[in-house]
Amino acid sequence: MKRIGIIGGGSFGSALADIIGSKGLPVSLWFRSSKAAAEFNSTRENKKYLPGILLSANITGTASLEEASRNCSLVLVCVPSQHFRSIARQLGQWMDEDQMIVSTTKGIESQTFKLMTEILREETRCLRIGALSGPNLAKEIAAKMPGATVIASRDEDVIATVQEALSCSYFRVYSNRDVQGVELGGVLKNIYAIATGLAAALKMGDNTRGMLLTRGLAEMSRFAEKFGANPLTFLGLAGVGDLVATSGSPLSRNFRVGFLIGQGKSLEAAVREVGDVAEGVHTIDVVFHKASELGIRMQILEGLHALLFEGKALPGVLNDLMNAPQMEDVEFSHRFGESSQG
């Protein structure tokens, strides 16, 4: 395997670069500024995102997208969704159709409702594309705690290459061909991480969290099926695995945003205090409008949107949620059964 490029010097990109570099493979880690790249190269530490953790000496920081992508056998794109298209467009200048490119971004483009792999197809010449998603809290990965992820692609070589690059003694890489489902799982769970953070701040208890997680999972799969995803994907790492990990951890940016709002802070103040991109805030608004357009009922999502974007007070939101029409609990199971039979 030739050099591997990581586009995005945040916590997750740095953690993945460390796995790859620790296996003896050369890695180019792209930072937005030459100052950040130079600081990393001199200290081996990403002081902003992973302070106190020395990363592999096989990683080279760079502020050049060309250097981080040209002639790499594999490129992992780890940038926020709002910057994803502009970065992909620039990568399109340097990458050719034989190179492999994988998105790790859990977001949706608001104007087009495009997933990140769709943007990669539009903006680059790459034909070998995949998505990486799962219960992947970056600080735990960087601390070498046991964990796992999912590589989704319709290209078997992409799956094999990512598994070879990232599998190690503390990190397992599972495979899936349902790219749509894996990407949507990573996107949608952020909504419910905000909901559980809110509930935790209000000291609502484990019964409430259990309700939010299971009914949230039902909403996620119901929505994703409309876009061709396999509901069984949501029983795996990219669905329930990611949902559980991010819906109870203070390491989750989305959980922390919800928690701060539950403590009485405004949405703007909560996002500012977290100080990093919480994709779920953007996702709530985008998915709410798409679900309304398609006539998909998502009660938890609707409540969060009313609270965060419509100015509705929390007591009214909770009252609406608890008095909404009651659905069959087994409607979730029926859809899994139909998928497994057909």
29, 61 Cβ separation under 8 angstroms: yes
Of 47, 114, 117, residue with least CA distance to 77 = 117
Distance CA 118, CA 164 (A): 24
Of 22, 61, 56, 58, residue with least CA distance to 41 = 61
40, 9 Cβ separation under 8 angstroms: yes
2 belongs to the catalytic site? no
5, 28 Cβ separation under 8 angstroms: yes
Q: 306: Cβ–Cβ under 8 A, 6 or more apart, which residues?
A: 312, 316, 317, 320
> Out of 23, 114, 189, 265, which one is annotated catalytic?
189
79, 103 Cβ separation under 8 angstroms: no
Q: 152 forms bridges with which residues in the sheet?
A: 131, 176
Catalytic residues, by residue number, are 189
